[in-house]
Amino acid sequence: MEPPSDSRDYRVLFFCPASTARLERIDAPVRRLLSRIQAPPAELAPIDEAGTLTEAGWKVFMVRSLTERSAAHALAAYVSELTCTLAAELDGEVLGLYIDVTGDSARICRCGPEDGPETFAGRRPVALGRTAEWLEVSPAGLSALFQVDMPDDYEPDAEDRFVEQKLREAREFMEQYRRTNKIST
């Protein structure tokens, strides 16, 4: 039996469109999933952030464990599923983010109501950078939400830059495809 994970070591946040995000609309899907996977007790708590995320049109919700055992850690494998469920419920794009605070890993998922999930997993600085890019905000603002520090001297290596370039190209191709389909329909 593996030791229980400490609730302070993990974070799961959902970035939802501020125009439609209401706690009562997204709380039920989160509770259903927590119950289904038999996760430790948790609540979905809005994060009152009056900075760049609010200005960019996002409302942030955090899965907050109600015990020392981490519900966020239990949700790590379900971030994509829950992100897509919330996107369908809110009829808008939602981004889910899981971070292992003591480790150096993170997992993100972006999903729209009619789109499949776009996911990324990797080192924390790279994942926070990708999240900031997707949300169109600064990485420093995101790291404050998680109460983790972004290293001042973090510099992506050649592999990180290569992957970032390929992902930018893929996003451009996807946008071209979407524009073409909208025009032709």
Q: Is residue 178 part of a domain?
A: no
| Exposure b/e, 117-138, CB count within 10 A at least 16 = b | bbebebbbbbbbbbbbebbebe
Summarize pLDDT for 67-82 with one digit per residue, the tens: 888 888 888 889 999 9
Q: Which of 31-35, 48-52, 102-106 comes out lowest in average pLDDT?
A: 48-52
- Cα dihedral sign, 144-145-146-147: positive
Q: What percent of the chain has pLDDT over 90?
A: 22
Give the whole-angstrom CA distance, residue 31 versus residue 18. Answer: 21
Judged against a pLDDT cut of 50, whether residue 2 lies above it is answered with no
Q: Specify if 55 maps to a domain.
A: yes
The C-alpha angle with vertex 130 and arms to 128 and 132, in degrees rounded to 5, equals 70
Structural tokens at position 73: 């850690």
Q: Give the global pTM.
A: 0.74
Q: How far apart, in whole angstroms, are the C-alpha atoms of residue 27 and residue 31?
A: 6
Does 72 fall in a domain?
yes
Residue 184 lies in a domain: no
- Quick count: other Cβ atoms within 10 Å of Cβ 62? 19
What sign does the dihedral 123-11-21-48 (CA atoms) show? negative
Interval 155-171 mean pLDDT: 72
In a domain, 2, yes or no: no
- What the block records as the tokens of 9 is 């070591």
Domain holding 58, by residue range, is 7-154
In a domain, 113, yes or no: yes
Q: Which residue has the higher pLDDT, 49 or 7?
A: 49
Q: How many domains does the chain have?
A: 1
> CA-to-CA distance for 84 and 95, rounded, in angstroms?
9
